[in-house]
């Protein structure tokens, strides 16, 4: 097996063993509850050993964060634009991209999903940059599929921006994004703080790129990706829209007109101010927000404003992107191609999230609170607490900081979800310096309460980031650009507050009422940051019961009924990402360890430990475990943007089954503190 590293010096999990390495079916006979409990205990013990062996010496855990090949394609396009490409990186990226291509020539955004046009366009262009010829079979298949679906003209705005950088698309035919946007006050509609933090960090540098409209010489033409093979397809004029959509189409036309008359001193001042905004938000490791998209656009914007590659900001930014790379052994390529090492680019890295979830799972499985691994993890998490204001303070200027972020370095954008789970994890540890834990938890609790939105719920990064206008901009045709409250984040906060003895706090009770009002008629809850209703329901039911909602409450019983109704014949649970678009997929999909874990967490919290559904789910997990104590899961069960951007957290397949098995074997943990 081949180990990988995350770029920060820590070893990650080996690649999943082959199917022949699976352990034999050790499920007990039907009705043998004692035997099932014993088997579950042995399964949990193997999982504990596996996870303890994966901890970095500094205390954290981190699994690969797998998304789709647009990360790798855009990395190559960035290097081509800046003139910093090198043969080794290009070849290794091409190996990974080729390995993700489907039989029909397309690339998907999640495992088992349909081919996606923009992803396929970007992957094709990246392979052309790597030297793949358009007359090779795998390239011909991709180009034919692209043309059949409208060609480049039908791709999303962000894809056409990348192509415009090399003259493969006209800047004039893209929505306008003026840098003067940086001057809009925070109370004015469509100011940058009306956008979610991930969109805000991307849009500010893109205003500079949009104003400059750079074109670097293209190394080849892309005529084969247009519906007319002899010339680029002229852009189709947007169909006249009514209502707000029509208003924003008209606004885009006005902005195109403004570009011709914009005062040059004002525009130059706006771009310089955008540059200062970007540089002020660069993290200590050189990245921006700990995520890839703002980093690549910020580097392009700063380059256009005269920052050369030797400038410390640029040098640190490029070095940070290299730390997002995961290197793997190569696989057989198309035709007779001999492949070397493969290089996958993570969209971001998730050590804080992975560490707090792992601590919770190990604790659920019975690892004592003073175990050295848990103490090391607590020390590392305590050192990651953010005690200075970030962009969230624009809406909450008098709130003291105290949250945690998702990544290694992201002091500007702590998030409510990580903060809640870190507090829950810290309370499971018997730390030798309890006063230090108490101080950190107090800061985190107050910050979290202060980030509650007016409706009584919580979003991920900002309070009251609920505007509808940003989503209507012609520029925003990919993914979510606002951060409204969600059931899963709110549930994690409610559970944390309840464990902190604040179940009856007025803010907690408002959140409980909000959660009850958000339950779907089916009995499920929507999952914003995980797929999908299984994730939402798996978060909400434990939170409600922790907050004192009785298991006999109609909402809990409806949730139980829904979970039982969608259990698969093999005993597990699964939900396909298509459930975000098609109701027929809700609760349906191939059984996965992580989603089975979520369902079991809800059923156990609802008092269903001795029910048949729980027994079948536990049996599924014990049978699916591998010899080394791990589980395999190629399916994507994490969500960046519902449907548009999906994530396979490689740690999910390990921690959520262990949580469920631990709670099945040991029972629900009391609302105690400090590992007691």
Instruction: Give residue-wise pLDDT tens across range 493-544.
Output: 999 999 999 999 999 999 999 999 999 999 999 999 999 999 999 999 999 9
Residue numbers annotated as active site: 417
Q: Which band of pLDDT confidence, cut at 50, 70 and 90, is reported for residue 23?
A: very low
Residue 326 has pLDDT above 70, yes or no: yes
Residue 34: the pLDDT is 81
At 13 the pLDDT is 35
Residues 96-123 have a mean pLDDT of 96
- Please tell me the predicted confidence (pLDDT) of residue 241: 58
| Phi, psi at 368, each rounded to 5° | -65, 150
**Measured at the alpha carbon of residue 289, what is the angle toward residues 283 and 295, in degrees to the nearest 5?**
85
Tell me what pLDDT residue 116 has.
97
What residues contact 484, with CB distance under 8 A and at least 6 apart?
Answer: 453, 459, 465, 466
Q: Is the pLDDT of residue 12 over 50?
A: no
**SS3 assignment, position 530:** strand
Q: What is the CA radius of gyration of the chain?
A: 25
pLDDT value of residue 420: 98
pLDDT at residue 258 in the model: 81
Residue 596 pLDDT > 80 = yes
- C-alpha to C-alpha distance for 616 and 630, rounded to whole angstroms: 19
Q: Residue 601 is encoded by which pair of tokens?
A: 């967490």
Residue 489 has pLDDT above 90, yes or no: yes
Q: What is the pLDDT of residue 242?
A: 58
Q: Please tell me the predicted confidence (pLDDT) of residue 668.
A: 63
Q: Quick: pLDDT tens for 550-581.
A: 999 999 999 999 999 999 999 999 999 999 99
pLDDT score, position 334 = 57
CATH classification (class only), 19-65+347-666: mainly alpha
Please tell us whether the domain made up of 68-345 is placed in CATH 1.10.3720.10: no
Q: Which residue has the higher pLDDT, 426 or 25?
A: 426
Domains 19-65+347-666 and 68-345 equal at CATH topology level: yes
Instruction: Report domain extents, the chain.
Output: 19-65+347-666, 68-345
| Tokens 């656009």 belong to residue | 297
Tell me the pLDDT band of 16, cut-offs 50, 70 and 90: very low
Cα–Cα dist 532/254, whole Å:
40
Average pLDDT over every residue of 14-42? 58
* Local confidence band at 253 (pLDDT 50, 70, 90 cut-offs): confident
Nearest-angstrom CA–CA distance, 324 and 64: 10
Is a pLDDT exceeding 80 seen at residue 411? yes
**Cβ atoms 156, 118 nearer than 8 A:** yes
Residue with tokens 């999903």: 113
pLDDT tens by residue, 346-398:
999 999 999 999 999 999 999 999 999 999 999 999 999 999 999 999 999 99
Is pLDDT above 90 for 90? Answer: yes
Length of the chain: 676
pLDDT at position 375 is: 98
pLDDT value at position 2?
34
Whether the CB-CB separation of 189 and 467 falls below 8 Å is answered with yes
Give the span between the Cα atoms of 449 and 493, in whole angstroms: 9
Q: What is the mean pLDDT of the chain?
A: 90
**DSSP H/E element including 537:** helix 533-546
């Amino acid at each position: 097996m081949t180990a990988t590293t995350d770029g920060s010096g820590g070893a990650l999990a080996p690649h999943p063993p082959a199917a022949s390495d699976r352990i034999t079916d050790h499920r007990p006979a039907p009705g043998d509850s004692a035997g099932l409990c014993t088997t579950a205990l042995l399964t949990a013990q193997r999982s504990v050993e596996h996870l303890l062996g994966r901890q970095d010496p500094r205390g954290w855990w981190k699994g690969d964060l797998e998304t789709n090949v647009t990360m790798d394609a855009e990395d190559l396009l960035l290097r081509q634009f800046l003139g910093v490409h090198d043969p080794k990186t290009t070849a290794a990226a091409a190996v990974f991209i080729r390995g993700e291509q489907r039989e029909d020539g397309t690339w998907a955004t999640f495992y088992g999903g349909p081919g996606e046009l923009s992803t396929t366009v970007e992957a094709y262009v990246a392979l052309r940059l790597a030297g793949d010829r358009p007359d090779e079979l795998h390239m011909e298949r991709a180009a034919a599929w692209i043309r059949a679906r409208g060609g480049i003209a039908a791709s999303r705005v962000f894809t056409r921006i990348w192509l415009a950088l090399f003259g493969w698309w006209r800047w004039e035919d893209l929505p306008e994004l003026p840098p003067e946007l940086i001057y809009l006050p925070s109370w004015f509609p469509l100011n940058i703080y009306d956008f979610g933090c991930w969109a805000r960090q991307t849009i500010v540098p893109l205003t500079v790129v949009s104003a400059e409209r750079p074109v670097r010489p293209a190394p080849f033409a892309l005529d084969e990706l247009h519906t007319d093979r002899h010339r680029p397809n002229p852009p189709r004029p947007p169909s006249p829209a009514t209502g707000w959509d029509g208003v924003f189409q008209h606004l885009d036309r006005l902005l195109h007109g403004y570009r011709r008359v914009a005062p040059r001193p004002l525009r130059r001042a706006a771009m310089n101010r955008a540059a200062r905004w970007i540089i002020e938000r660069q993290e200590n490791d050189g990245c921006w927000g700990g995520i890839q998209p703002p980093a690549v656009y910020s580097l392009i914007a700063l380059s256009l404003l005269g920052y050369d590659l030797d400038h410390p900001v640029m040098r640190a930014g490029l070095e940070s992107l290299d730390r997002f790379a995961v290197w793997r052994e190569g696989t057989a390529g198309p035709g007779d191609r001999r492949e070397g090492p493969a290089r996958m680019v993570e969209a971001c890295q998730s050590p804080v999230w992975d560490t707090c979830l792992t601590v919770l799972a190990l604790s659920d499985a019975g690892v004592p609170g003073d175990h050295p691994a848990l103490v090391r993890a607590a020390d590392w998490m305590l050192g990651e607490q953010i005690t200075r204001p970030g962009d969230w303070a624009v809406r909450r200027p008098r709130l003291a900081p105290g949250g945690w972020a998702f990544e290694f370095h992201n002091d500007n954008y702590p998030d409510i979800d990580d903060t809640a789970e870190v507090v829950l994890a810290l309370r499971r540890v018997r730390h030798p310096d309890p006063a230090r834990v108490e101080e950190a938890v107090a800061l985190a609790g107050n910050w979290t309460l202060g980030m509650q939105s007016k409706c009584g719920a919580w979003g991920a990064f900002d309070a009251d980031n609920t505007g509808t206008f940003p989503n209507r901009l012609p520029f925003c045709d990919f993914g979510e650009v606002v951060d409204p409250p969600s059931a899963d984040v709110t549930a994690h906060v409610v559970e944390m507050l309840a464990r902190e003895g604040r179940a009856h706090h007025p803010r907690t009770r408002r959140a409980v009422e909000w959660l009850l009002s958000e339950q779907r008629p089916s009995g499920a809850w929507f999952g914003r940051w995980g797929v999908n209703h299984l994730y939402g329901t798996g978060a909400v039911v434990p939170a409600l019961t922790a907050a004192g909602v009785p298991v006999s409450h109609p909402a809990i019983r409806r949730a139980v009924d829904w979970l039982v109704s969608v259990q698969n014949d093999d005993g597990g649970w699964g939900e396909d990402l298509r459930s975000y678009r098609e109701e027929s997929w809700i609760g349906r999909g191939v059984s996965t360890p992580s989603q089975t874990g979520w369902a079991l967490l809800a059923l156990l919290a609802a008092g269903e430990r001795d029910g048949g559904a729980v027994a079948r789910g536990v049996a599924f997990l014990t049978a699916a475990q591998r010899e080394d104590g791990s589980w395999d899961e190629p399916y994507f069960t994490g969500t960046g943007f519902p449907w548009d951007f999906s994530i396979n957290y490689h740690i999910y397949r390990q921690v959520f089954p262990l949580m469920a098995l631990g709670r099945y074997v040991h029972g629900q943990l009391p609302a105690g503190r400090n590992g007691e």
